[in-house]
Amino acid sequence: MNEITDQHKALIDEALWLRGRIIASYSQVEYLLADISVKLDLRFPYLIKDRIKAVKRIGDRPGYEGYGVALNRICDDLLRFDEVRVYGSRVHEARHRQARKSPI
């Protein structure tokens, strides 16, 4: 009953693959937000919350007013998932660190 089956291994592999896809996709969005901010304001916001603020300000710029509502909605949604993203990456990192210390 305590043995790891092939089905367990497959589920773990799929979960890790999905976790990686989620984190990689989120990272790509973070990069794009920073890139847009640099191209429009010539400033690089480091923290995600600052990148999101910079992107929200795009809707206030002349010629971009039509995008304001959509940008605000998207940015608010991104902030909701930031805690989950951080948790997913930190838990995985901590487990790997712990595994390296293990004598097995």
pTM of the model: 0.59
Cβ-based neighbours of 25, under 8 Å, separated by 6 or more: none
What confidence score (pLDDT) does residue 78 get? 80
Residue 93's H or E segment, with its range, is: helix 68-101
**CA-wise closest residue to 78 among 42, 28, 10:** 28
CA–centroid distance for 18 within its chain = 13
pLDDT in tens, 24-62: 888 888 888 888 878 877 677 777 788 888 888 888 888
Average pLDDT over residues 5-30: 88
Work out the percent of the chain whose per-residue pLDDT is above 90: 11
